[in-house]
Structure 1
Amino acid sequence: MFKSLQPSYTAVIVGAFGGIGRAVFDAIKVDPHCEKIFGLSRSSIPAIDYDTPQSLEEAATQISTEVSSIDVLIIATGALTAPNGTPPEKSVSQLTAEAMEEIFRINTIGPAITLKAFTPLLARDRRTLTATLSARVGSIGDNALGGWFSYRASKAALNQITHSAAIEQSRRNDQSVCVALHPGTIETGLSKPYARNRFTHSAEACATNLIQVLDTRTPEQSGGFFDYAGKEICW
């Protein structure tokens, strides 16, 4: 699956029971070169919950008792609709502090705390791969329609965090790769209410595409923002 990694690599998938996260987890799990894979979610053991940031640190600590380091970290969490049911805003007049806070907690703060917890576990003496699940609408340069204020802003912030994390990782390990990935419009619960049947591909095909893109990035491309076909997206 990951041809650029050494055999017997170890992976951590955060959000492993969501639509894309589960597909990524399932694809890597059957790779004979993957020695160990940890799928984390609110129902996993150990469990994680962005409402309880300490749970990320505890999960990382527990995993560190089983493996000395990890080679792959994929953060496949995200939300388009706030947990309270608030849909993406069509106008600035629809913004509420409560919904924005919820979207940022899931799309930005949670992944950032995940990076904090798991970056120390990334191997320092060989190639490592880290990816966050972003979205094309997080691109400021590509925004020609407006709307979706909270979602767009939360993903733009995630892109900045990913870029900064990539710089820090490169100082620890010049073989590291850390990128933000746009999966496309996938047949998942997140996209269905808004996709208008314009799906790009299935979750399984998406997982294959994202793994391929991540696997073929070079350290020089670390910190970048790429779509499911490997094309770079403007910030």
Structure 2
Amino acid sequence: MSLANSPAIALPSESALILGATQGIGLGFVKHLLQQPNISRIFATYRTAEAAGELLELQTANPDRLICTVLDITDESKIAALIQTIQINTQCLHWVVNCVGVLHEGTLQPEKSLSQLDPERLMRYFQVNSIGAVLLAKHLVPLLRHGDRSIFATISAKVGSIGDNQLGGWYGYRASKAALNMFMKTAAIEYGRKSPNTIIALLHPGTTNTRLSQPFQKNVPPEKLFSTERTVAQLWTVLNGLEPTHSGQFFSWDGTELPW
């Protein structure tokens, strides 16, 4: 029998959840996954409809594959409601990528010195960048615990590495990303017992040309400023290469392991 007449091999059907899909890397992941034929269902979260126009247009164009929902990651009740919504539509998730994060918004700006520290602003960094992710880990167990390989990846940042910190500054952002790394490292140990087929990974995407990085791109060499499409493709390659022994580790965009 010729290859031309051979029956098509059905790809396994997988489901994914992208958190923080309004713009930037999160929206890039949604677009990338829509191009993957084995991803049959994609759930995507956004904070406000006003800022999620492109995402909601994708949902309109892909009503059978893309389900979008509002989420405030700092509200645990909203996270629990999201999980219930997903469970109505699917029994399991194979891919979760948490792209929610804050570096600057309004009066919240990265601090340059101790004199700029403010308790309320520090708390905002931790609520968005650290606590939300570990609450996701708490509630996602039933959807990730199944017989297939599953990935729970969270976008971290190299500036959250304590060992790599040579410049100082950015107290709240650095500390909240370091806390994120510890939360997810610890969660990976528990997942190893409760959901051994789940790989938890922390990812440094590199400097990507997004709204988050735009105020800080002046000194970034052009070859180190990545488009969203390039960043997503690089991270997707890293995620596809992970094995269970990699769970709880911190990886750069090129697959190298980063120090804590």
Q: Report if TM-score (shorter chain) is over 0.5.
A: yes
Among candidates 86, 94, 114, match of residue 71 of structure 1: 94
Quick one: which amino acid aligns to residue 49 of structure 1? D
Deviation for aligned residue 1:21 = 0.3
Matches within 5 A, 1:220-231: 220-231=245-256
Among candidates 92, 108, 113, match of residue 91 of structure 1: 113
Among candidates 146, 167, 172, match of residue 189 of structure 2: 167
Q: TM-score, normalised by structure 1?
A: 0.93
Matches within 5 A, 1:22-41: 22-41=27-46
Match of 1:10 in 2: 15
**Which region of structure 1 is more displaced relative to structure 2, 45-54 or 159-168?**
45-54
Q: TM-score, normalised by structure 2?
A: 0.84
- Matched-pair contact (CA < 8 Å) for 2:145–2:194: no
**Which region of structure 1 is more displaced relative to structure 2, 149-158 or 168-177?**
168-177
Deviation for aligned residue 1:53 = 2.4
Deviation for aligned residue 1:197 = 5.4
Separation in 1, partners of 2:88, 2:164: 43
Match of 2:171 in 1: 149
- Matched-pair contact (CA < 8 Å) for 2:145–2:197: no
Match of 2:217 in 1: 195
> Relative contact order: is structure 1 or structure 2 higher (C-alpha 8 Å, sep ≥ 6)?
1
1:118 matches 2:140: yes
Match of 2:59 in 1: none
Quick one: which amino acid aligns to residue 173 of structure 1? S
- Matched-pair contact (CA < 8 Å) for 2:14–2:41: yes
Q: Calculate the aligned-residue CA RMSD, in Å.
A: 1.5
Match of 2:43, SS state, is strand
Match of 2:84 in 1: 61
Match of 1:166, SS state, is helix
Deviation for aligned residue 1:51 = 4.1
Separation in 2, partners of 1:50, 1:225: 22
Match of 1:217 in 2: 242
Among candidates 231, 249, 255, match of residue 206 of structure 1: 231
Separation in 1, partners of 2:217, 2:190: 36
- Matched-pair contact (CA < 8 Å) for 2:155–2:205: yes
Deviation for aligned residue 1:117 = 2.2
Matches within 5 A, 1:103-142: 103-142=125-164
Task: Tell me the number of residue pairs that the alignment of Structure 1 and Structure 2 aligns.
Answer: 229
Among candidates 207, 210, 217, match of residue 185 of structure 1: 207
The percent identity for this pair of structures is 38
Quick one: which amino acid aligns to residue 16 of structure 1? A
Which has the larger share of helix? 2
Residue-by-residue CA offset, 1:11-65 (whole Å, 9 max, x unaligned): 0011111311000111012210111111111247431113432111101101101
Residue-by-residue CA offset, 1:78-124 (whole Å, 9 max, x unaligned): 1111x342311111111000110111111111222222222221142
Separation in 2, partners of 1:60, 1:86: 30
- Matched-pair contact (CA < 8 Å) for 2:200–2:248: yes
Separation in 1, partners of 2:228, 2:69: 25
Quick one: which amino acid aligns to residue 179 of structure 2? A
Q: Please tell me whether Structure 1 or Structure 2 has the larger radius of gyration of its CA atoms.
A: 2
Match of 1:158, SS state, is helix
Quick one: which amino acid aligns to residue 227 of structure 2? S
Match of 1:3 in 2: none
Quick one: which amino acid aligns to residue 204 of structure 2? H
